[in-house]
Structure 1
Amino acid sequence: MRPLRSSTVGIVAELAVDRYSRDNLKLLFMQVGLGRYLPHDPFSKAGLVTDTVLSAERDAEGDDEVVQGLHEFVRLVAARVAVYAEAPGPEYGGLETDPAWKRLGEALRADGYDPRYEDRAVRLLPMDEPHAPLSAEVTELEAEFQQLGMTAALTHYKQATDHLTREHYESANGALRSMVEAVVCQIAEQQGRPWERQGQGQAALQYLIDETKVLPRGQGGNFVRGLWEIIQTNGPHPRTTTAGEARFRFQAGTACVRWTSVASKRS
């Protein structure tokens, strides 16, 4: 998992002091796995947060567990900021205009993450470049899955996104493969082929290519088949994938599945 800049963590620490009680700050650090860094006798809330965060950051290099703890700290405080921003009352202007949320969002995007608030929780979605955020594609595909009732595909895709963000590349590849299988199986089911159990992705894809008008060979069928063959190899096995490969699979899978869902609507 890519570490966040110290300046970003500092912004979040400042927001945590403002939005948590002293006791709740202790619970927060214990919840994210950083309880061992709590100072014994902090002078103030600011001292408690500052000492804990600085101690954790000193150990973060080379320790994925501490890096993940700092990420969780940022994510949970960001959710608290969002909840405050959406609270009713004249002092709150809503999420899009809230100064704290905007400041936090700018810092996280500079670190390569786009914060998305949904169901009183925050997800940190990966970004490719400042001009081409992958997070926009992720959000659109998730919305599409919801509209089409593809709950299994949506669950697998969210898992793939979260694993990729946390740099658990083998798990991301495995979840992505399950997502693609869920999509082709559900579309095949809509076209008349029963979907009885997992592991039928190859047969469902063959059905869509050879026996329906959804994915003719020369009009996208070979494209989807090519992706299918790529995601079957190496993916979920330890030490057989790289960050670049996992990211390519995720981007290609996102684009391919969005194209496939559009094709299914035209058929």
Structure 2
Amino acid sequence: MTLLTDPTLGTLIELAVDSHSRANLEVLLMKSDLARFSQGGYSKSDLMVGALYQARTAAGDGDEQAQRALLSFAKHVAAHVAPRTSNDQDPRFERVREALLADGYDAQYEYGSPVSPSLSAMELAMLAECQGEPPRQITGVRLLPTDALPLPLGSEVSALEADLVGLGLDTAANHYRQAADNFTQHNFEASNGQLRSMLEAVVMHFAAQHGFTSNGRAGQGGPAIRHLVEQTSALPQRDGGSQLTGLWQMIHTNGPHPGQSNADEARVRMQLITATTRFLIAHFAATP
């Protein structure tokens, strides 16, 4: 399971402190099985920061119970700030959901019965037909992992950095390192921009090996890809060419512009670009 990052813990602690008394925070630690990590503290923030940091350290050392306790805490905070019904919104919940998405967890509502229990089943059906589904009570929150594998990035990040440095692509490696750092700090637009720069540098490198000459202008990733895929077939359409072309088009949909990227999108880009770049390196290493 992926560890919760500093920005996510900060968001959870801030919302918990703002909406609970100290006594209730201590109860929340007990309910989340985090009380064993509590070191007290003069303020509410001291209490929570100490407990959650100790728990994450333990989780990082392989304590699965500590990791489950942290996720339980996140779920309790998300449920506390969740809106009452499916028709309502609460910006606090959206903050929690966005932060957790960046760490690989999707906070989803659990629903109860429709809000108007006095209506008969027939009346509810008529209401749904005329006005859409009636609002439903939100009874809780569940956390679902967004990734098929527990740690989809950690070892891949390190391996790709090593591959890039081994090829002499120090600038690309630096772009990638900055992308990973920005992603960890939830700076998603900056992460997307650095990822695109890294992929462009890699594509330009392999295209140059196959006769591509840059015109010296910025934004030569597209022409370099067309050279590899369409003009030389160094990367055949059915052996990664279509994948790279589609990925290049996708990562230009929103770009690194503030307000146009969210946690889930940034995480998917990180995964796709990491995997595709490693594929390209392996492909061209095996090609004479």
CA deviations over 1:165-222 (Å, ceiling 9, x no partner): 1111111111111111111011111222234453111111111112334211222111
2:8 alignment counterpart = 2
TM-score of the superposition, structure 1-length normalised?
0.56
Counterpart secondary structure, 1:236: coil
1:251 alignment counterpart = 271
- Contact 2:41-2:47 at 8 Å conserved across structures: no
- Asked if residue 260 in structure 1 is aligned to residue 280 in structure 2, the reply is yes
Deviation at 1:129, TM superposition (A): 7.0
> Aligned runs of 1:20-169 on 2, under 5 Å?
54-55=45-46, 105-106=61-62, 110=67, 131-169=150-188
CA distance in 2, matches of 1:139, 1:53: 37
> Aligned runs of 1:175-254 on 2, under 5 Å?
175-195=194-214, 196-254=216-274
Letter in 1 for 2:257: H
- TM superposition outliers: structure 1 runs of 4+ over 6 Å: none
CA deviations over 1:144-168 (Å, ceiling 9, x no partner): 1111111121111111101111111
Deviation at 1:262, TM superposition (A): 1.1
Instruction: Give identity over the alignment, percent.
Output: 35
- Contact 2:157-2:274 at 8 Å conserved across structures: yes
Deviation at 1:52, TM superposition (A): 8.7
CA distance in 2, matches of 1:140, 1:103: 23
Letter in 1 for 2:260: T
Letter in 1 for 2:161: E
Q: Which runs of 5+ in 2 are unaligned?
A: 1-6, 14-38, 72-101, 105-146
Taking structure 1 as reference, are residues 136 and 212 closer, same or farther at Cα in structure 2, changes over 3 Å only? same
1:82 alignment counterpart = none
Taking structure 1 as reference, are residues 160 and 107 closer, same or farther at Cα in structure 2, changes over 3 Å only? farther
Letter in 2 for 1:155: N
Taking structure 1 as reference, are residues 56 and 172 closer, same or farther at Cα in structure 2, changes over 3 Å only? farther
CA deviations over 1:237-261 (Å, ceiling 9, x no partner): 1111111111111101111111111
Taking structure 1 as reference, are residues 104 and 255 closer, same or farther at Cα in structure 2, changes over 3 Å only? closer
Counterpart secondary structure, 1:188: helix
CA distance in 1, matches of 2:258, 2:42: 36
Shifted more, 169-178 versus 186-195: the winner is 186-195
CA distance in 1, matches of 2:196, 2:63: 32
Letter in 2 for 1:159: Q
- Contact 1:141-1:254 at 8 Å conserved across structures: yes
- Contact 1:126-1:135 at 8 Å conserved across structures: no
- Contact 1:214-1:263 at 8 Å conserved across structures: no
Deviation at 1:236, TM superposition (A): 0.9
Give aligned pairs, total: 176
Taking structure 1 as reference, are residues 57 and 209 closer, same or farther at Cα in structure 2, changes over 3 Å only? same
CA distance in 2, matches of 1:206, 1:53: 58
How large is the Cα RMSD of the aligned pairs?
3.5
Counterpart secondary structure, 1:3: helix
Taking structure 1 as reference, are residues 53 and 174 closer, same or farther at Cα in structure 2, changes over 3 Å only? farther
Deviation at 1:102, TM superposition (A): 7.5
Letter in 2 for 1:187: F
